[in-house]
């Protein structure tokens, strides 16, 4: 997927998202597009805040400078979903990455690429650090599997994801893997 070097399968898209959240620490800021998938929104609004992670939901789909204004010294992650679910807002991934990198090289840029898939959009080629998927929707062609994935080209993220995936246990079952590949 995404022509990425490293990929990890998870029990669901939210399990993949949870593993990305686990990269963060207390006091880290996260800038998210305001119109994220409902489960992602709940995870950041209710769960992540309990661990001192500070989410800020911003509409930077029509005004890219809103992203620039939202970045702060504690920002550790920018979460892009394009097109968004459910309103299909379109985000310029490459421009967002450019803005983030101008602010700080240390901020992770993650793209939820569930809707377009790697077939139509490649966030890693556009500069994103992580391309994340809910494979539940239609990736296997049957919509009968619950699974998620994270893809990256960064070796440091590969090492962290490998540890987190092994530690948090949000892995798919062997049968689900079989169903995904059929």
Residue 115 lies in a domain: yes
Q: Please state the domain count of the chain.
A: 1
Residue 182's pLDDT is what? Answer: 86
Residue 81 lies in a domain: yes
Residue 85's pLDDT is what? Answer: 86
Residue 104 lies in a domain: yes
Give φ, ψ of 68 to 5 degrees.
-55, -45
Beta strand 54-58 pairing with 6-10: unpaired
CA angle 33, 66, 84 (to 5 degrees): 20
Residue 52's pLDDT is what? Answer: 97
The whole domain housing 175 covers 6-181
Residue 14's pLDDT is what? Answer: 96
Tell which residue, 173, 176, 160, 174, has the closest CA to residue 19.
160
Calculate the alpha carbon distances from 81 to 16, 166, 182 in Å: 14, 26, 28
Residue 88 lies in a domain: yes
Residue 114 lies in a domain: yes
Residue 1 lies in a domain: no
What radius of gyration do the chain's Cα atoms show?
15
Residue 142's pLDDT is what? Answer: 84
Tell which residue, 70, 73, 22, has the closest CA to residue 44.
22
Tell which residue, 8, 13, 1, has the closest CA to residue 146.
13
Residue 68 lies in a domain: yes
State the pLDDT confidence band at 12, using cuts at 50, 70 and 90: very high
Q: What is the pLDDT of residues 19-76, one digit of tens each?
A: 999 999 999 999 999 999 999 999 999 999 899 999 999 999 999 999 999 999 999 9
Residue 159 lies in a domain: yes
CATH label of the domain that carries residue 82: 3.40.640.10
Residue 137, pLDDT above cutoff 80:
no
């Amino acid at each position: 997927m995404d022509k990425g070097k490293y990929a990890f399968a998870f029990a669901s898209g939210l399990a993949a998202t949870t593993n990305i959240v686990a990269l963060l620490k207390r006091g880290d800021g996260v800038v998210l597009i305001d119109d994220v998938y409902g489960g992602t929104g709940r995870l950041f609004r209710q769960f992540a805040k309990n661990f001192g992670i500070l989410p800020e939901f911003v509409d930077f789909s029509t005004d890219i400078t809103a992203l620039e204004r939202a970045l702060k010294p504690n920002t550790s992650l920018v979460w892009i979903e394009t097109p968004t679910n459910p309103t299909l807002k379109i985000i310029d991934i490459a421009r967002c990455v450019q803005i983030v990198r101008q602010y700080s090289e240390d901020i992770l840029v993650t793209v939820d690429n569930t809707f377009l898939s790697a077939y139509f959009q490649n966030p890693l080629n556009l500069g994103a650090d992580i391309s994340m998927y809910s494979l539940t929707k239609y990736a296997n062609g049957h919509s009968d599997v619950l699974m998620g994935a994270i893809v990256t080209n960064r070796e440091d993220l590969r090492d962290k994801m490998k540890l987190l995936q092994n530690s948090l246990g949000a892995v798919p079952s062997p049968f689900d893997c079989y169903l995904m590949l059929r």
